[in-house]
Structure 1
Amino acid sequence: MNPSTTHPDPGAPAPREVRGLPKAQLHLHLTGAMRPTTLAALAARDGVDVPPPLPTTVGTWADFQHRYDTARTVIRTPADVHRVVTEAAEDDAADGCGWLEIQVDPTSYAPVFGGLAPALEAVIDAARQAPVPTGVIVASAWTRAPEHAVTLARLAARYAGDGVVGFGLSNDERHATVADFAPAFAITADAGLLAVPHAGFYTGPRHVRACVEHLRADRIGHGTAAARDPATLSLLAERQVALEICPTSYPPFGVHELATIPLRPLLDAGVPVALATDDPLLFGTGLAAQYAICRDVLGLTDAELARVAAASIRHSAAPQQLKAELQRRVDSWLRDGSPRPGTASSAPAAC
């Protein structure tokens, strides 16, 4: 997907180049960060059939999970992890990203890496060498037992300050009780890690509220359901809990069409919003293109795009000095439209 960046009013000033807008990438899964060409190469090496694209019509979570699981099987060595993380960082850097957080559930990689810790260490090592400053988020799954989340929380806490910056819950959130996961998040909170569970994708506003109240979420992955409830919007705005909105993740599941993503109500309510890509391998859209969608389809102005980019930086785990520098560049972009130093405005869109 490559939305046009042509301004709808021929008489108005040309819009600023969204690739030049400094931003942070806060919601990116390891397998889903793989380039399609890399998936094809690793699949050929291992004799694995490349999964087909997601349906263009409304699909199911099982459609997605099957493709994701198949793609994950080609990541078998630390060198594979290094390649995926490096290429993802390169693609995001071309789209203006100055800080990247990559999320991994080490459970599914543990069998081929020799355990949970070796799998996580491979990702941490790759993040240290990435061409963009990169933190690692450890995630359990809503579909696994809360006791497993505690195991992963202890693992994440062990590497806090050594590459791991946050702890989350991914996968289908319909199959769990939020409060059951509070012990895991208490462990990672004590270690100083950000709490970043997925919520409000299939579930309603109550699930988003529960993640704030029981898990003390700093950010929510997706969370668009919050727009349906004024009390939940007020809670998110009051506590400044950011939502990681990934526009192209919703149409394949019938959650939203692009034009119905409630970005404007979220912003109007004072809820911090960060745009992200989720799984560009499967959804086909890079970071800058997500911003272009929000301008071309949802009508955000350049000032509003800068506000979103600033929120992504502010709510990241980036060091304060880097946050300040990226914010300075956001202000410069809004003032004069200059691209981020070292980033060509004609860089190709990541996919």
Structure 2
Amino acid sequence: MTATGAGGVRPLRDVSQLPKAHLHLHFTGSMRHGTLLELAERDGIVLPDSLVEDWPPQLSAADEKGWFRFQRLYDVARSVLRTPEDVRRLVLEAAEDDVRDGGRWLEIQVDPSGYAARFGGITAFTDLVLDCVRDASERTGLAIAVVIAANRTRHPLDARTLARLAAQYAGRGVVGFGLSNDERRGSTADFEGAFRIARRADLLLVPHGGELRGPDHVRQCLDSLGAHRLGHGVRSVEDPALLERIVAAGVALEVCPTSNVSLGVYSDLTSVPLPLLLAAGATVALGADDPLLFGSRLAGQYATMRAAHDLDDTTLARLAEMSFEASRAPSDVVAAARRDIAAWLA
């Protein structure tokens, strides 16, 4: 990380200048804290203390009560989005923040059903998001795509509706289909039909798994849903045979270190098993998950893992390369990023 010579200690390379693809960022969770406060004040929405003076909140998802508290804060934050211009602002600021952190490609994940009532239905809201994405991309230079995600606490038929919606927009800004919320809820196999619809549309299949539940649930995501990437997937490390299967299949893991610690999956950042995943040959893309609730954005994931595991800059550059390998970024974006990653390392 540092080098000592006649000139003394060489400073660490700036991780915010390292080109990255961001593959695990939730829509409302990308909101700036200041924007949350401003929009809430505008409409007289009373926020809980944990989203105001006690921010970022102290969270845990070790039990159902802890996850309920996390979800309640997320729902409160979503409630401040009242107008199309609020949505446009959120997307633009998320893009600006990623660019500041070295982002070159963003796949932002959204469940349109969570916003449908206020914005005219799931199709109208998806149209709005894609328009905002195009605008933000033009204004910031960040290439952006959308992953539509179903909520596993809702009926699997709702997920099929969202999968058909995602398929309708495949090739027009939507690149993937996911499954989010508390992975301990519902039956993963029940969502197989939705993922079959998405697979036929050649969408990336990116369910959450392997964070709040262990290796057995990761197998379900692979066997029932045909996952191309796993949202989190970090607990695959607990089963060497499973991890070997993941590596052989080229299934990427969207590892979100500050999220893992904030939700109580690991006690501290040094316990996040990133070195073990890398040593096994896993493809890993670091992501911020929900910066609004966890208080850390994209570059922060690289910085914390560098500090926690004494990662050298070659390893950080490799992590950045893998984030593009696991993405649906266009070939020209990937080629330019590879050149600039090499330049950062040189």
Superposition TM-score, scaled by structure 1 size: 0.90
Q: Which residue of 1 aligns with 2:156?
A: 146
Q: Residue 215 of structure 1 aligns to a residue in which SS?
A: coil
Task: Report the Cα distance in structure 1 between the residues aligned to 2:4 and 2:298, rounded to whole angstroms.
Answer: 25
Query: Are 2:39 and 1:42 aligned?
Result: yes
**Structure 1 residues not aligned, in runs of 5+:** 1-5, 336-351
Q: Contact 2:218/2:233 (CA < 8 Å) preserved in 1? A: yes
Once the two structures are TM-superposed, the CA of residue 251 in structure 1 deviates from its matched residue by 1.9
Aligned length: 330
Q: Which residue of 2 aligns with 1:264?
A: 275
Q: Which residue of 2 aligns with 1:75?
A: 81
User: Which of 173, 176, 184 does residue 163 from structure 1 map onto?
Assistant: 173
Task: Report the Cα distance in structure 2 between the residues aligned to 1:214 and 1:327, rounded to whole angstroms.
Answer: 34
Q: Which residue of 2 aligns with 1:24?
A: 21
Q: Which residue of 1 aligns with 2:304?
A: 293
Residues 144/7 of structure 1: CA separation in 2 closer, same or farther (3 Å cut):
farther
Query: Are 2:289 and 1:278 aligned?
Result: yes
Once the two structures are TM-superposed, the CA of residue 7 in structure 1 deviates from its matched residue by 5.5
Task: Report the Cα distance in structure 1 between the residues aligned to 2:185 and 2:58, rounded to whole angstroms.
Answer: 26
Correspondence list, 1:47-66, <5 A: 47-51=44-48, 52=50, 53=55, 55-56=57-58, 58=60, 60-66=66-72
Residues 222-264 of structure 1: CA distance to partner in whole angstroms, max 9, x if unpaired? Answer: 1111010011111110011111111110222210121100101
Q: Which residue of 1 aligns with 2:222?
A: 212
Q: Which residue of 1 aligns with 2:344?
A: 333
Q: Contact 2:286/2:323 (CA < 8 Å) preserved in 1? A: yes
Once the two structures are TM-superposed, the CA of residue 57 in structure 1 deviates from its matched residue by 6.5
Q: Which residue of 2 aligns with 1:92?
A: 98
Residue type at the aligned position of 1:64 = F
Task: Report the Cα distance in structure 1 between the residues aligned to 2:99 and 2:332, rounded to whole angstroms.
Answer: 18
Q: Residue 42 of structure 2 aligns to a residue in which SS?
A: helix
Greater relative contact order (Cα < 8 A, sep 6+): 1
Q: Which residue of 1 aligns with 2:320?
A: 309
Q: Which residue of 2 aligns with 1:339?
A: none
Return 48-57 or 222-231, whichever deviates more: 48-57
Task: Report the Cα distance in structure 1 between the residues aligned to 2:343 and 2:170, rounded to whole angstroms.
Answer: 33
Q: Contact 1:220/1:242 (CA < 8 Å) preserved in 2? A: yes
Residue type at the aligned position of 2:207 = P
Q: Residue 143 of structure 1 aligns to a residue in which SS?
A: coil
Once the two structures are TM-superposed, the CA of residue 23 in structure 1 deviates from its matched residue by 0.3
Residue type at the aligned position of 2:39 = L
User: Which of 238, 255, 259 does residue 248 from structure 2 map onto?
Assistant: 238
Superposition TM-score, scaled by structure 2 size: 0.92
Q: Which residue of 2 aligns with 1:107?
A: 113
Residues 295/323 of structure 1: CA separation in 2 closer, same or farther (3 Å cut):
same
Q: Contact 1:39/1:50 (CA < 8 Å) preserved in 2? A: no
Residues 168/8 of structure 1: CA separation in 2 closer, same or farther (3 Å cut):
farther
Residues 31-89 of structure 1: CA distance to partner in whole angstroms, max 9, x if unpaired? Answer: 01111111111111221123423543646111211110000001122211110010010
Q: Contact 2:56/2:295 (CA < 8 Å) preserved in 1? A: no
**Structure 2 residues not aligned, in runs of 5+:** none
Q: Residue 98 of structure 2 aligns to a residue in which SS?
A: helix
Q: Contact 1:54/1:64 (CA < 8 Å) preserved in 2? A: no
Residues 9/77 of structure 1: CA separation in 2 closer, same or farther (3 Å cut):
farther
Once the two structures are TM-superposed, the CA of residue 289 in structure 1 deviates from its matched residue by 1.3
Q: Among the aligned pairs, what percent are the same residue?
A: 51
